Structure 1
Amino acid sequence: MAELPVEQILKGARHAIEHSEYLPTLNRMLECCQAGLVEFGLPSAHDAYVEACQAASPKSAQAWSHPAVYLAGRDSDWFFLANNEERRAWPVYREHYQRYVSAVLRGDQLEVPAPQALEKQPAEPLSREEQIAHLKKLRAESGL
């Protein structure tokens, strides 16, 4: 439980008090902490990690279960997540995800940034003379 944000533990404790007759066991308390996340549409940390690792590019154009999943992946570095094994990438992702979970539990609104749009009209192609001039310039700059 030391890895969970304080807000999540408090939310879980409130859930345990409301739904249990007796003091909860540690396992039951962890379940209650997870149940508190469901109210906000947040997946569990590991489910969020798997979602982030399996998302296709462009990442910001995907249908995320919650913006916190995307933001934690972005902060963890998509390349790092894709090219490292879980035992290295999971702790990094979990730390970022828990920070965003805490923000959501405090009432912050998170948003996935809109994907960058392409140009509406493609640029006009260069004339043959302009192409030759650019080619000569590139040759001069590269020393060819």
Structure 2
Amino acid sequence: MRQAGAITRQIDYNQLPQAEVKQAAPDARGIAIQLINGVFKELKGCCSAWSYTFPDTETLKVVKQQWIKTFIENGISSDQQINIGMAKVRKLGSPYVPTPGEFVRYCQPQPEDYGLPSAEIAYREACQYSHNPTGAKWSHEAVYQAAKATGWFELKVMEERRILPLFERNYEIVTRRVLAGEPLSSIPKALPGQVHKTPAERNKAYYDAKQAEQIKQADLSHLTDGHNALAKMRAIMSG
């Protein structure tokens, strides 16, 4: 049998599949370790069951490796993310240390973390301030930008069932931008058909189109009134 050392000397590690040799970038791992050391220090102070979760140093080392991998895999790399996560841990007030997966979810920013109101509240605010947008005290810049993109006049005069879907679409865009740290201006206009219609509106549009096609096929397009055209079609069929 060949010696293990002789075998390993013949292996060309440069030819191994990338999945086998790929490791996290040193910077990413270093950042994760630094962040986790701070997180563990805070968790130890606010989770009374810390010693139950980590009864000895060896357990702590093993678990910390899992946290490092989880942070790297999920892109947790900033103090801002950690601050959001730790704020939720303190708010929950649980004595138990969260799992790495739970803590990563806590670190994902939500609209309320940035003071963004719900879409319903934002819409009411937009309607309220549409008469004097420049003199209003907006709860958040995102609400103002969504309202501006929707249209001050439209917010004042259009029925809610028609204007609300457009506002919700614009507010969703600015909310995503806030969470991503992107600028809020220049919201792209919605193309025709992008704003969702109600089921009743979709049904009416379908049957209107179907009726128009029937009138065209019957060569009754010269009758501008749809009811007259249908009556003429029924008369022809009954005759």
TM-score (norm: length of structure 1): 0.51
Secondary structure of residue in 1 paired with 2:137: coil
Alpha-carbon distance in structure 1 between the residues aligned to 2:131 and 2:155: 13
Structure 2 partner of 1:85: 159
Structure 2 CA distance for partners of 1:66 and 1:77, relative to 1, 3 Å:
same
Deviations 1:79-116 (A, max 9, x none): 111111110010000011110001100013558xxxxx
Alpha-carbon distance in structure 2 between the residues aligned to 1:56 and 1:89: 13
Deviation of 1:61 after TM superposition, in Å, equals 2.2
Matches for 1:2-41 after TM superposition, within 5 Å = 36-41=110-115
Please state if 1:102 is matched with 2:173: no
Alpha-carbon distance in structure 2 between the residues aligned to 1:45 and 1:89: 13
RMSD value, Cα = 3.3
Deviation of 1:56 after TM superposition, in Å, equals 5.5
Overall identity of the aligned pairs, in %: 37
Gaps (5+ residues) in structure 1? 1-13, 22-31, 112-144
Deviation of 1:55 after TM superposition, in Å, equals 1.2
* Higher Cα Rg, which structure: 2
Gaps (5+ residues) in structure 2? 1-83, 93-97, 99-105, 186-239
Structure that is richer in helix per residue:
2
Question: Could you say which structure has the greater relative contact order, defined with CA pairs below 8 angstroms and 6 or more residues apart?
Answer: 1
Give the aligned length. Answer: 90
Stretches of 4+ aligned residues off by more than 2 angstroms? 108-111
Alignment check: 8 A CA contact 1:60 1:70 kept: no
Alpha-carbon distance in structure 1 between the residues aligned to 2:183 and 2:139: 14
